[in-house]
C-alpha cells in the first residue's frame, strides 16, 4: 500500500576548491541522509565547486561536465544502492562554448530521469552568472519519481512566481530550489536582514499560491575565490508546507542534513480549501507574455 508521506532531505554544506572532494562529501551526505530515512534528497546549487561566479574568469569553464556524465554516474549508482531519489545541481557543458546551470533528476532505481536548465540567469555584483551560463531551453517540468512527483528550479528562478506556477501546473507536488545565496560584505549590515527575509518570503508565497511543498537547500560558509571580498552564504535551508509555514530550517553557519516528513495528502486539502487553481482566469492572462504593459 502506497503511503502519502515522504521524507525529504536537504544537504547544506561547505565547499572546497576541489571538485572531487566536494563530490565525495556530497555522496557521503546522501548516504547519511538515506541512513536517517530520507527518500528524496536534494543537494545545493553547484555543489561540486565553490561558487565561482563571483568573478569572470575563463579558467572556471574547466569545472563543467557533460550531463549525464561522471558526477551523475556516481549519483545514479548511489541512488540505486540506497533506493533514494537525488536532485543534483551541476555545471553542464553542453558543447564547446555552450554551458548551463543544470539540475539532474535521478530516480530511486538509479535511473537518470532528465535535467532542468536554469531559466533565469542573474548578473549582479559577485553573481556574474551571465558570463558562464546560457539560459535554459527545456522549460518548466515535473518528474514522476518513486516517492512523489517533483519539480526543480534553480536559485534565481526562485524569485519568479511564473517559475513556481508553471512547475506546479506540470504536476509537481514538491518544488525544489537548489540555491547558492548569501550576503555581499558591503551590504550585510544595512540590507542583510531584509534580503534574507525577502528570499524566505517569496518562496513561502510559492508554496501558498500553488498549494505544494517548497524545499530549498542552500550552502554555508565564506567563499572568496581568487582572494576577492567573497560571499558569506547564509545557510538556513528550509522546507515550507502547502500553507507556506516553515516546518523545518537549518542553521546559519553549520553543515547540516535537514530532514522533513512531507504529507502529500495535504496538497489536496490545501487546494480544496484555497482553490487558487480553480479560480485562475486563464482567459485574462495573455499580457503576462509581454515584457511590460505600456
Q: How far is CA 271 from the centre of its chain?
A: 23
Q: What cell was used for 230?
A: 567573497
Inter-residue long-range contacts of 199-206, CB under 8 Å, 24+ positions, other chains counted:
199/158, 200/236, 200/238, 200/246, 202/158, 202/159, 203/158, 203/177, 203/240, 204/240, 204/244, 204/245, 204/246, 205/161, 205/244, 206/158, 206/161, 206/164, 206/175
Ordered alpha helix ranges (H), 47-121: 70-82
* Rounded alpha-carbon distances, angstroms, from residue 177 to 160, 161, 206: 12, 13, 11
Helical pair 188-210 and 161-169, crossing angle rounded to 10 deg: 30
CA–CA separation, 177 and 180 (whole Å): 10
CA–CA separation, 237 and 155 (whole Å): 12
Of 179, 154, 182, 201, the residue nearest 252 (C-alpha)? 182
CA–CA separation, 219 and 137 (whole Å): 26
Burial grade of 289 (CB within 10 A; 0-12, 13-18, 19 or more): exposed
**Which residues are marked as active site?**
45, 118, 155
Torsion 195-14-255-120 (CA) sign: positive
Amino acid at each position: 500500500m502506497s503511503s502519502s508521506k515522504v521524507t525529504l532531505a536537504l544537504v547544506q554544506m561547505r565547499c572546497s576548491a576541489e571538485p572531487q572532494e566536494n563530490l565525495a562529501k556530497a555522496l557521503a551526505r546522501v548516504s547519511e541522509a538515506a541512513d536517517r530515512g530520507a527518500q528524496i534528497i536534494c543537494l545545493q546549487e553547484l555543489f561540486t565547486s565553490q561558487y565561482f561566479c563571483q568573478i569572470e574568469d575563463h579558467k572556471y569553464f574547466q569545472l563543467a561536465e557533460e550531463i549525464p556524465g561522471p558526477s551523475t554516474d556516481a549519483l545514479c549508482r548511489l541512488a540505486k544502492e540506497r533506493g533514494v531519489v537525488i536532485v543534483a545541481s551541476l555545471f553542464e557543458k553542453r558543447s564547446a562554448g555552450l554551458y548551463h546551470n543544470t539540475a539532474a533528476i535521478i530516480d530511486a532505481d538509479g535511473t537518470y530521469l532528465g535535467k532542468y536548465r536554469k531559466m533565469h540567469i542573474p548578473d549582479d555584483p559577485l553573481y556574474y552568472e551571465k558570463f558562464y551560463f546560457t539560459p535554459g531551453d527545456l522549460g518548466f517540468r515535473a518528474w514522476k519519481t518513486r516517492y512523489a512527483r517533483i519539480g526543480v528550479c534553480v536559485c534565481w528562478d526562485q524569485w519568479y512566481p511564473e517559475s513556481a506556477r508553471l512547475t506546479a501546473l506540470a504536476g509537481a507536488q514538491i518544488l525544489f530550489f537548489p540555491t547558492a545565496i548569501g550576503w555581499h560584505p558591503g551590504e550585510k549590515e544595512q540590507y542583510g536582514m531584509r534580503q534574507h527575509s525577502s528570499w524566505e518570503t517569496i518562496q513561502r508565497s510559492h508554496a501558498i499560491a500553488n498549494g505544494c511543498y517548497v524545499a530549498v537547500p542552500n550552502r554555508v560558509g565564506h567563499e572568496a575565490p581568487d582572494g576577492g571580498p567573497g560571499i558569506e552564504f547564509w545557510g538556513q535551508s528550509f522546507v515550507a508546507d502547502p500553507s507556506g509555514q516553515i516546518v523545518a530550517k537549518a542553521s546559519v553557519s553549520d553543515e547540516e542534513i535537514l530532514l522533513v516528513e512531507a504529507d502529500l495528502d495535504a496538497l489536496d486539502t490545501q487546494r480544496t480549501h484555497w482553490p487558487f487553481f480553480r479560480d485562475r482566469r486563464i482567459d485574462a492572462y495573455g499580457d503576462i507574455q509581454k515584457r511590460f504593459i505600456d
